[in-house]
Structure 1
């Protein structure tokens, strides 16, 4: 039986409307908000929220039906607008394209990500003169979809999905990473950016103790962050009053997700969906060991 754990995020948007049901609330373990085990298409899921920053910029949701299940973890930065937009528009777009194509597919996921990104950039263009900072608002985006016994994982940024399956001879648990971290802390990601921008010697620089794109951001893929995708924002004097000017010739980050598809097998036990706040503290192996050794009946 496949179980899902999604953590952390600001809230399950709509709570009851997204399948979390009633009875969820702050737990005795200090969590901001959580939902205990609830049923979904292929098993059960639980949901936990832990607040790390003074201002909540994250969102998360679980949407369930008899045939499919969707999980979203949106780790916002620069403000809450991008993550909130994702929680309201990404799954409707995904449902639309999947329905048009007769079922879930990599193409439907790519189209949903693209459509949602274009909708948000259109919003930014229409409002940024009144709210210039919205051009610098973005979010990581980790999505899981289960349909027809297949698990689809799509990712922008450094949130991560890790599956736990039974070890050899049915003993113990083995961690299997199902997403790619788009973070320039990874040498392979840095090399990819340098190859894509051969005319820019400052595309990746070491700044304030870590590697950053243009000395600003660590993730190479994200939702939003219009000023790093549309040079006209970075060049505008109005925008420069609020955000440090960045000389751009073209986009330096992208909203094209990496997508993996995996057939669900009998040895697969659970999947952990989490933002980098968890993975900065735990290895993949340590996280799945915790879940495996502490099953929650309530």
Structure 2
């Protein structure tokens, strides 16, 4: 372990650590994290922004005695922004608290405990506000987190957001896309089989509805934080809206909050990471996104990825991008989802410097925007 240095937080290179706003777009074109540079962008499509995100760089432990690192989170909400906002405000602090208690460094155990604690805290909030805000029971969020520390990368995912690595192919200048996260969407055949195997006595656990596979005919993702109405039967009743209520009770959670976790030792060929909600991947392939990042300047690269996705969305509906950009939030959702992108560049020299010490940085995508 290294000893973390605590210094006052400072603003980013552009003098605006909170990011900037252009209509429905929030962005921070370029900033510095512990191991290199990063770029963030968020475009709203829903009536209220349901995507939340964050990048934290500095001490990973609440007591500031453990090693430093960079934490990246993308939280793609559904059923309103309550769950994604809550995760954005609590997951990293739960991770830091659990990390301090463990003392042996970042681990799968620490990450899973952070997810579990955040889930428990949100369900407790739903219970507390059940009679006054029953709609919170139908709010949930996909949750993608990445932690870089001591030359290692940990990727945890519950839902269908995605993390992709850009890695230079040996002996060439070509940058290949390597998907790092498993997706939990029942439109993927292997995920349908997994859900059915966990609920063998429910023939209706996954059904086709409106030409899409859905868990209980309602939701496509099989893992999330929140969605209390599909976790505990006590929330699947009045006063919750009828459309969310199942005709029969259930005795075990229908959705899971446990993330899939992958662990990677960062290699010299690893150039950058793309963390994004499925709004991006709906329109761009892994390789297309990696090609854009590897072939363009770093400054504003997250915005460039968002624009590329919007171009594809407009093309599919046979309209011009300029016309799509005039459509207001809410109506815009018929053309594309909220899209969040965080590009994290990896500087090998900084990664190899185990005694590295820098000012803490915390930035939350779109949080300071009141759309």
**What's the CA shift for 1:293?**
0.7
Matched with 1:77 is 78
Where structure 1 has 5 or more consecutive residues not aligned to the other structure, the ranges are 1-14
Matched with 1:87 is 88
Matched with 2:106 is 104
Instruction: Map 1:139-288; keep pairs closer than 5 Å.
Output: 139-234=141-236, 236-241=237-242, 243-249=244-250, 250-288=252-290
Name the SS of the counterpart of 2:283 in structure 1. coil
Q: CA RMSD in A?
A: 2.1
Matched with 2:126 is 124
Where structure 2 has 5 or more consecutive residues not aligned to the other structure, the ranges are 1-8, 60-67, 301-371
Using the alignment, how far apart are the partners of 2:231 and 2:39 within structure 1?
Answer: 36
Matched with 1:68 is 69
The answer to whether the 8 Å contact 1:160/1:274 transfers is: yes
Taking structure 1 as reference, are residues 16 and 157 closer, same or farther at Cα in structure 2, changes over 3 Å only? Answer: farther
The TM-score with structure 1 as length reference comes to: 0.89
**What's the CA shift for 1:248?**
3.5
Name the SS of the counterpart of 1:237 in structure 2. coil
Q: For 1:22-59, what per-residue CA distance to the aligned partner results, in whole angstroms no more than 9, with x for missing partners? A: 163135xx761111221111111111111122221121
Q: For 1:158-210, what per-residue CA distance to the aligned partner results, in whole angstroms no more than 9, with x for missing partners? A: 00000000013042101111101100010000011111111111000000110
With a CA cutoff of 8 Å and minimum separation of 6, indicate the structure with the bigger relative contact order. Answer: 2
**What's the CA shift for 1:295?**
2.5
The answer to whether the 8 Å contact 1:18/1:63 transfers is: no
2:27 alignment partner, one of 7, 31, 34: 34
**1:56 aligns to 2:49 (yes or no):** yes
2:38 alignment partner, one of 36, 39, 45: 45
Name the SS of the counterpart of 2:144 in structure 1. strand
**What's the CA shift for 1:291?**
0.5
Q: For 1:208-238, what per-residue CA distance to the aligned partner results, in whole angstroms no more than 9, with x for missing partners? A: 110000000000000000010101221x332
Using the alignment, how far apart are the partners of 1:157 and 1:206 within structure 2?
Answer: 19
Using the alignment, how far apart are the partners of 1:97 and 1:18 within structure 2?
Answer: 28
**What's the CA shift for 1:118?**
0.4
Matched with 2:298 is 296
Equivalent pairs counted in the alignment come to 281
Using the alignment, how far apart are the partners of 2:12 and 2:223 within structure 1?
Answer: 27
The answer to whether the 8 Å contact 2:229/2:244 transfers is: no
